[in-house]
Amino acid sequence: MSRRTVTASAVLATALTALGGGAEARPRPQAAREQAAQARADSGGLVLRLPAPTGPYRIGAVTLHLVDRSRRDPWNPGIPVRELMVTVFYPARTVRAYPRAPHMTPAAARSFTVLGPAMRPQLPHAGVDWAATPTHAHLGAPAHPVPRPVLLYSPGGGDPRTLGTGLAEELAARGHVVVAIDHPGDASEVEFPTTTAYRDDVLRDTVLTKDPRTDPALFRTLIGTRVADTRFVLDRLEELAAGRNPDAAGRALPLHLGRALDLRRVGIYGHSAGGTTAAQAMYEDDRVGAAANLEGYLDHPAEAPGREGELFPVARDGVDRPLLLLGTDGFTDRKALERSWAAMLAHPRGRTARRQLDGAAHGVFTDYAAFAPRLQAAGLMTVEGRAELVGPLDPAVSVPAVRHHVAAFFGRHLGARRAQ
C-alpha cells in the first residue's frame, strides 16, 4: 500500500457516512463473518456483478480526460487548471473484438478498498475484489452513427462516477448517450491517464473529511464546482459533435462517436449532491432540457442553528423545463429534504414531478442497490448495514424501479427532437 493511500485512510477514518444524510457506522460483523471475509480476500475476494441492461442496444464506452484551463482547482491551490475524467456510454454499432470495460481499474479499486469503507462504513474492509466486476460496455466500440439524446450524470458526494454504471448502461442500452462525470477532489478517488507537472500521482483522493451538509461554505463550493463542471463538459461535447477531439492527450475516439450526439436533446441526472447539481445546472444552462434529482437537497445548509438554509435559485424561482424529484421512504434526512422539495413543487405552472420508492434507502440509486444484498449474503455486510445503505427492498424490484422512473422520464421529455 502506498504512502498516499495510508495517509488518505488515516484522514478519512473520521468521514461521515452519506455526505448528505448520513448515519452512524454500524458495528463490524461478528468474528465468523470476519474470518469468512478474510478467506475470500486470500482467494481473490468476492466478485460482484452488475445487473444486465434490458434495452435493445449493445453498449460502447470510452473515457475522456478533460482540462478546463479557465478555472483553478477549488480543492487544491497547487493545481492551476480544473481536470475532469468522464466515461461516455453509447449505443454501439458492433462490440465484436472489443473488450469489456472494468467497473473499476485495478489502481482505483485498490484505493476504493480503503476509501470506500471510510466514506461508507457499511462496506467491508476486506473480502471483495473491486477490480473484478465487469461491465456490459465494450471499450472503444464504434458508435451507431445516429443522433441520440445526451444525458449527463453527476454522482453523490464522495462517490466516484463508477458507482452509477448500472443505470448509465441501462440508459445507453435504451438509446441514450450517457456521460458520467467524476468531480476530482470530491470523489473518493479519480484516476487520470498520466501524471502532470502539478500532479505527481495518477490517482487523486477526496478532500472530504466530513459531511458537507454540516459546513455551509464547503457545501456551496461543492455544488458550485459541480455545476461548473457539468457546463464545461457540455462545452466539450459540442466540440466532439463538431468533429474535434476534446481529450487532453488527443487519445483515439470510437468511430462515429461525435455523430451519435444530439445536443438539441440534453438531460442531466444525479444522485444526492449530484441531484442538487442536476437541478441547479438545468436552471443555469438552457441547453439542458430536463433534469432528474435522485434525492438531492435544493437548499444550502443553515448558517446557524434554528435558521433555515437559503434555497438554491432553482427552488426559489422555479424552472420552465421538466424536473423529476425521485426519493425514498428510508432516507434518514427526509425531513430536511422536504422543505426545499416542497418549495420546488409549489411553483405555479411548474413542470416538477415527485415520485418515491418504498422499502428503499438513499444508496438505492447507485450500484450499491445490487452490491449490498450480495455483500450481506456473503457475510460481508450486516442486515442493518444493508438496510441503512439501500433499504430492504429486493434488488429484483429496486433496480428495475429506479431504471423505469429515470428512463421513462427522459424518454417522455427528450424522446422527441427539441425545437431550436
Going by pLDDT thresholds of 50, 70 and 90, the confidence category of residue 305 is confident
Q: For residue 256, how far is the Cα from the chain centroid? A: 26
Q: What is the pLDDT of residue 379?
A: 97
Q: What is the pLDDT of residue 29?
A: 36
Q: What is the pLDDT of residue 246?
A: 98
pTM listed for this prediction: 0.91
Is 205's pLDDT higher than 90? yes
What is the number of other CB atoms lying within 10 angstroms of the CB of residue 150?
A: 27
Which pLDDT tens digit goes with each residue over 154-178? 999 999 999 999 999 999 999 999 9
- Pairing state between β 148-154 and 82-91: unpaired
Is 37's pLDDT higher than 60? no
Which pLDDT tens digit goes with each residue over 110-147? 999 999 999 999 999 999 999 999 999 999 999 999 99
How far is it, in rounded angstroms, from Cα 155 to Cα 190?
A: 13
Q: Please state the rounded mean pLDDT for residues 179-200.
A: 97
Q: What percent of the chain has pLDDT over 70?
A: 88
Is 25's pLDDT higher than 80? no
> Average pLDDT, whole number, for the chain?
90
Which pLDDT tens digit goes with each residue over 338-379? 999 999 999 988 899 999 999 999 999 999 999 999 999 999
Q: What is the pLDDT of residue 413?
A: 97
Q: Residue 376 phi/psi, 5° resolution?
A: -65, -45
DSSP string, 336-391: HHHHHHHHHHTSTT--EEEEEETT--GGGGSTHHHHHHHHHHTTSS-HHHHHHHT-
With beta carbons less than 8 A apart as the criterion, state whether 84 and 232 touch.
yes
How far is it, in rounded angstroms, from Cα 242 to Cα 92?
A: 20
| The CA-based dihedral angle spanning residues 367, 369, 372, 374, taken in that order and rounded to the nearest 10 degrees | -90
State the cell numbers at 300: 444550502
How far is it, in rounded angstroms, from Cα 140 to Cα 257?
A: 10
Q: What is the pLDDT of residue 19?
A: 42
State the cell numbers at 83: 481536470
